[in-house]
A and B are shown apart, each in its own frame.
Chain A
Amino acid sequence: MRKNDNDTKRLERILADGWKAGAETRPGDLWQAGVMARVREAASVRPEPAWTNGTSRLALRISLVAAAAAAVLVVWTLAGGVIPYEELAMKAIDEPLSILIGSPFV
């Protein structure tokens, strides 16, 4: 029994050493030319980067429009379009009752 175990371990070690030695093949010029031919072929059909495709492209467009709209709003606000505190103060002076009674809904 012990001899069998030892034989198995020894055989396993010898086979493992043979496996580690590998196939003993080396890349040659022809092989390298073959790789580059396939690489050039792949380059000619390489898809566009992921962000330019389908859903990503739509999301990109929407975010560009949203950014432009935000920029317009900022410019308009700075130019005096909406001044919330001033508007509220004016309303409080003009119609004090409506502010007091209906303030939550105004």
Chain B
Amino acid sequence: MTDERTAAGDQEIIGRVLGGETDEFEKLVTRYGEHVFRIVGRRVPRDDVPEVAQDVFVRAFTSLGRFEGRSPFEHWLSKIAVRAALDYWRARYRSREAPMSALTEDHREWLEKSLADESDSSFETAESRLLARDLMMSALAELSPPDRAVIELVHLEERPVAEAARILGWTTVNVKVRAHRARKRLRAVIERMRDAAGARGAAAAEES
């Protein structure tokens, strides 16, 4: 019922915005700001989240006339957010700019510790989660932007293949094939990380 009410409210606001009441759009920004931050916050480096999230709302505003209301506004906005993140990485992939490629000593230490610690207790602090996130972002940076987008949707967010296909505008077969290949590539990158951390740990043990 709440969802229906929200959807009806969204439609009403959209109607007013399309009728020329631009300031009404702020209600949608307030309602869905956190939702967009959550999607974008997983996909782009921390410092760039606010800017990409702004782009999402500006894109939504300029294409609001194309929103047909067949699915909830939130889903339509999610699609724009995922595609904005994909465009973000496409632009950087083209210019070979990889903001997450440089890992610090903290990251390396965390990796070594988490492999040595069987209990996962090293993962329980917020700082540790951020380091893990940075490492995953670093691993994802080695994939092409479409591979990255499909991995994020299908494996990390565990969305159904049909939904991922709808968001990316691909066929379901293409999503399945690409997700499978991308997962193998990601696993190879993580294996390299594991080996590097293992070698470091062994060297440290020898020294002591």
Give the CA-CA distance A15 to B197 in the complex, in Å.
14
**Residue B61 contacts which of A11, A14, A17, A39 (CB distance < 8 angstroms)?**
A39
A25 and B131 CA atoms in complex are apart in Å by 15
- Residue among B33, B34, B36, B126 facing the most chain A CB atoms (10 A cut-off): B33
B115 within 8 A of A: yes
Within 8 A of B (CB), among A12-28: 12, 14-27
Q: A40-48, A69-77, A81-89, A95-103: which lies at the B interface?
A: A40-48
Nearest-neighbor residue (CB-CB) of A16 within chain B? B156
Is A38 an interface residue, CB under 8 A from the partner? Answer: yes
A25-B37, A43-B61 as given contacts; A14 in contact with B120, CB under 8 Å: yes
Given contacts A15-B135, A23-B133, A43-B61, A38 and B41 within 8 Å (CB-CB): no
Restricting to B9-60, which residues have a CB under 8 Å from any CB of A? Answer: 22-23, 25-26, 29-30, 33-34, 36-38, 41-42, 44-46, 49-50, 53-54, 57-58
Partner of B62, one of A18, A23, A24, A42: A42
Given contacts A23-B46, A25-B50, contact A36 B131 (CB under 8 A): no
Give CA–CA (A37, B25) in the complex, Å.
Answer: 11
Determine whether B88 belongs to the interface, using a CB cutoff of 8 Å to chain A: no
Say yes or no: A27 contacts B26, CB within 8 Å.
no
* Interface of chain B: mostly helix, strand, loop or mixed: helix
B56 → A minimal CB distance (Å): 9
Give the docked Cα–Cα distance between A19 and B41 (Å): 9
Pick from B68-76, B90-98, B186-194 the stretch touching chain A. B186-194
Q: How large is the interface on B (under 10, 10 to 19, 20 to 34, 35 or more residues)?
A: 35 or more
Chain A residues with CB under 8 Å of B198's CB are: 7
Q: Can you name the residue of chain A whose Cβ is closest to the Cβ of B139?
A: A15
Identify whether the interface residues of A are mostly helix, strand, loop, or mixed.
helix
Q: Is B103 an interface residue (CB 8 A)?
A: no
Asked whether A55 is an interface residue with its Cβ less than 8 Å from the other chain, the reply is no
The residues of A that contact B130 with a CB separation of less than 8 Å are 18, 21, 24
Q: In the complex, what distance in Å separates the CA atom of A46 from the CA atom of B65? A: 11
Task: A18 to B136: give the CA distance in the assembly, Å.
Answer: 8
Residues of chain B within 8 A (CB-CB) of A105 are none
Within the assembled complex, what's the spacing in Å between the Cα atoms of A19 and B61? 29
Task: Please determine whether A17 and B42 come into contact, CB atoms closer than 8 angstroms.
Answer: no
- Contacts A15-B135, A17-B132; is A40 near B22 (CB within 8 Å)? yes
A105 CB to nearest chain B CB (Å): 54
From the candidates A12, A18, A40, A42, name the one contacting B187 in the complex (CB within 8 A). A12
Tell me whether A42 and B58 are in contact in the complex, defined as CB-CB below 8 angstroms, given that A11-B193, A25-B46 are known contacts.
yes
Asked whether any CB of chain B lies closer than 8 Å to the CB of A34, the reply is yes
